[in-house]
Structure 1
Amino acid sequence: MTAVVALLFTGLSLRETQRQSEIAERGQMTDRFSRAVDHFGSGDVLIRLGGIQELHSIARDSERDLPAIAAMLSAAVRKLRSFEAPCQYKRIDMETKALLDALATVDAGASVDLSNSCLHLMSVRHARLRCAQLQFSRLNAAILTDADLTGADLSSVHLGAPDQPDTHPVGATLTGARLVSARMGRARLTHALLQKADLSNADLRGADLTGAYLKGAKLRGTNLTGTVLSGADLSDTDLAGAFIKDADFRNASITRESAIRSGAVDTDTYKQTTIC
């Protein structure tokens, strides 16, 4: 009986110690978060940069705080790179770069909302932006090599001439973007402007490219298995070695047969995957 009571007492003591440790750890995290937010809201850009790094560190340490931090960092990007037509930004400034680098490494899913943002020349290799919201954003000449954009929303609404993207007020544009080896399975790219974009060896299985403008794009070795290309403009597109099994070419500028004559391969099998 004495041994049993001692064992129970020890178990309860350990549980209480663990609870107190968790409370203390959460208190420390709250203090870190409050300090980071103060720095993030500073009027001094150098202090703000420090706040971004502090929030990034907390996001990596605390899954509980990740969605809120991703939302804050995203809002800051949208404020700095507000959508205007045409986008006048010629480069990515230091603060926007820090924000994008932080968002691209925490894998926060749909909490990353960069919609309606001017992100021309954005360069983040190996970015983890699964299920991110990028509707109506401008990503011309962006470098997203090896990025994970699985399930991301890069859709747009066409309101103007596709070969003159800056003549209409909204539209996800990726003209000249480098998306080599990017993972974009089941991404939403309806009416996206991808003229001369490089999607070589990218994984676009099950992606929705309805009405997309892909004139002059590189799709060499790209996996288009199960991809919806209905109404897409694929003129002058390099399809050598592209996999087009079960791809939907209805009303596209070229037929499946034309794609095969251009070097596409009607093999591979689309597999449903969980993305978010």
Structure 2
Amino acid sequence: MRHVLSLSVTRYALVIVVIIGVSLFLLGPAAWQIAGDTVRDLPARERPRAIDEVRRTLLVAVGGAAGLTGLAYSVRTYYLSRRGQVTDRFARATTALASGILVERLSGIFALEHVMRESPRDHETVVQILAAFVRSESPVRPGRPPSAVREDVAAAMTVLARRPVRDEKNNMDLRRADLTGLELLPDQEGHSPRLSQADLCGAWLTDARMPGADLRGVLLGGADLTRADLQGADLSEAWLSAATLEETKLQKARLAEAKLDEAELYGTHLTGAVLTDCRMDHAKQREAWFSGAELTRAWLPDVNLYNSQGLTTDQLLSATCLERTTFPQGLMYDPRLLARPPVWQGASYQHLHDHPFPWPVSRADRGGAGPRRRRARTGFRGPLRPRH
């Protein structure tokens, strides 16, 4: 202790000596050097006044520099002190997450939220910790029925869904998390929950409620969204390959450029949904509702739409690919659908080259009369069904 005190006294003494030395130098030789020939050319009685003016100017300049240095030192001290406080709060919050008491875990979760909001440099670290907490505390357990989401897991998901909008290098990893019955609703200010770019592959979201959620670019491959409420949600560019969407509510949802290949659309509500440029290759559909859905440039190859509800001819004609598509029961023999090729507007040249199709030909070119009764009734002269 005495040694430390001695070092401190020595340091302050040196600082005082340096300050005195600099002051004497500025008031003496430095002032005369700066004044230079200007003072020498003055009468002897005016020289002291001129030197005093130079000295005052030097003192003001040195005082300003010292003030700026002190301010910079104070700011640095403040930020270091604040950083230390954030680090301490961060450590205590992460410790609370491992507690066996629910209240302590909840306090740790919300403490981490404050750290994330106040410290942008810790933003992604907090996101990764909370995502790991959700995965470890509520994992999918094959062979066991889904269970209602725990309160602390729901709190962590709420914090993640309302995190500040900042650049994130990595996707939020929520793979194979059991989030059955999760509710993520707009906050008091009307901001929708945001899980964009999150990785939810293989997650269970049965009976989840996320109306209006921002799910752009979310990865939901193989996820179970049975009876989930995603009305008005933005799923643009989302990956839903092999996802289960049984009775999922997607009314007025935006699924532009989404990937729904091999997804299970059993009783799915897609009324008014935007499916522009959506890929639904080999999707399994049964009694899904498409009333008012936007299918412009959608790809529907190998999709059985026989039992679908609400589809119209104009909707299907706006799609790009109907290759090996089974039309709805009421549109099986619609002449406009049968007249168009399986791949139509918007298809890339490379795709047309790799997947050639026959264009409709006339009855004479076909060399046969075909089913005369139907042709006589409709007046249609093209092929009855798309040929492959």
Normalising by structure 2, report the TM-score: 0.59
Q: CA contact under 8 A between 2:257 and 2:278: conserved in structure 1?
A: yes
- Aligned CA distance change for structure 1 residues 77 and 87 (closer, same or farther; 3 Å): farther
Instruction: Name the structure 1 match of 2:47.
Output: none
Q: Provide the residue aligned with 2:180 in structure 1.
A: 120
Q: 1:205 aligns with which of 249, 256, 265?
A: 256
- Percent identical pairs in the alignment equals 28
Report the equivalent of 1:33.
90
CA pair 265-47 structure 1, distance change in 2 beyond 3 A: farther
Secondary structure of the structure 1 residue equivalent to 2:196: coil
Contact 2:162 2:194 in 1 (8 A): yes
Give 1:88's aligned residue: 145
The letter of the residue matching 1:18 is V
Residue 200 of structure 2 corresponds to which residue in structure 1? 134
Amino acid at match of 2:179: L
- How much does 1:259 deviate? 4.1
Alignment correspondent of 2:290: 239
Query: Between Structure 1 and Structure 2, whose CA radius of gyration is higher?
Result: 2
Aligned match for 2:79, one of 22, 26, 40? 22
TM superposition shift of 1:72: 1.5
Instruction: Give yes or no for contact 1:123–1:142 (8 Å, CA) kept in 2.
Output: yes
Corresponding pairs, count: 251
Give, as a single letter, the amino acid of the residue that structure 1 aligns with 2:175.
S
The CA distance in 2 between the partners of 1:73 and 1:63, in whole Å, is 16
1:228 Cα deviation after fit: 1.0
> Structure 1 residue aligned with 2:312, among 238, 260, 265?
260
Indicate the structure whose relative CO is greater, using CA pairs within 8 Å and at least 6 residues apart: 1
1:159-189 deviation line (CA, Å, top 9, x unaligned):
xxxxxxxxxxxxx111111100111111111
CA pair 69-87 structure 1, distance change in 2 beyond 3 A: farther
Q: Is the 8 A contact 1:37 1:51 kept in 2?
A: yes
- Residue 6 of structure 1 deviates from its aligned partner by 5.8
In the alignment, the residues of structure 2 paired with residue 33 and residue 222 of structure 1 have an alpha-carbon distance, to the nearest angstrom, of 42
The residue that corresponds to 1:147 in the other structure is 213
Partners of 2:105 and 2:117 in 1: how far apart? 18
- 1:145-166 per-residue CA deviation (whole Å, 9 max, x = no partner) reads 111111110012xxxxxxxxxx
CA distance in 2, matches of 1:182, 1:86: 30
8 Å CA contact 1:240–1:263 kept in 2: the answer is no
Name the structure 2 match of 1:73.
Answer: 130
Q: What displacement does 1:11 show? A: 4.4
Aligned mates of 1:88, 1:30 — CA distance in 2: 40
- Asked if structure 1 preserves the Cα contact closer than 8 Å seen for 2:138 and 2:149, the reply is no
Q: Secondary structure at the match of 1:174?
A: coil
Superposition deviation, residue 22 in structure 1: 1.9
| Alpha-carbon contact 2:146-2:204 (below 8 Å) kept | no
Q: Does 1:179 align with 2:230?
A: yes
| Aligned amino acid, residue 176 of structure 2 | N
CA–CA separation in structure 2 for the residues paired with 1:229 and 1:89: 27
3-state SS in 2 of match to 1:26: helix
Contact 2:265 2:286 in 1 (8 A): yes
| One-letter code aligned to 2:158 | D
- For the aligned residues, what is the CA RMSD? 2.6
CA offsets 1:45-77 (integer angstroms, 9 cap, x no match): 221111111112211222211221111111221
Alignment of 1:99-118 (within 5 A): 99-106=156-163, 110-118=170-178
Distance 1:215 1:230, change over 3 A: same
Residue 253 of structure 1: how far off its partner (Å): 2.1
Change (3 A) 1:246 1:50: same
**Distance in 2 of aligned mates of 1:262 and 1:236:** 19
Between 1:93-102 and 1:4-13, the stretch displaced more is: 4-13
Distance 1:264 1:65, change over 3 A: farther
One-letter amino acid matched to 1:51: G
The 2-side partners of 1:85 and 1:35 are apart by 34
Q: CA offsets, 1:118-153, max 9 Å, x none?
A: 211111123210101100011111111111111110
Structure 1 residue ranges without an equivalent (≥5): 157-171, 271-276
1:98 maps to 155
Cα-to-partner distance string for 1:6-50 (whole Å, 9 max, x where unaligned): 655554444333322222221111111111122222232221111
Q: Which amino acid aligns with 2:236?
A: G
For normalisation by structure 1, the TM-score amounts to 0.82
Q: Any stretches of 5+ residues in structure 2 without a counterpart?
A: 1-56, 186-191, 320-345, 347-388
Offset of 1:202 from its aligned partner? 0.8
Conservation of the 8 A alpha-carbon contact between 2:199 and 2:219: yes
Instruction: Answer yes or no: is the 8 Å Cα contact 2:193–2:214 preserved in 1.
Output: yes
Match of 1:64, SS state, is helix
Cα distance change, pair 72–194 in 1 and its aligned pair in 2 (3 A): same
Aligned 8 A contact 1:87 1:118 in 2: no
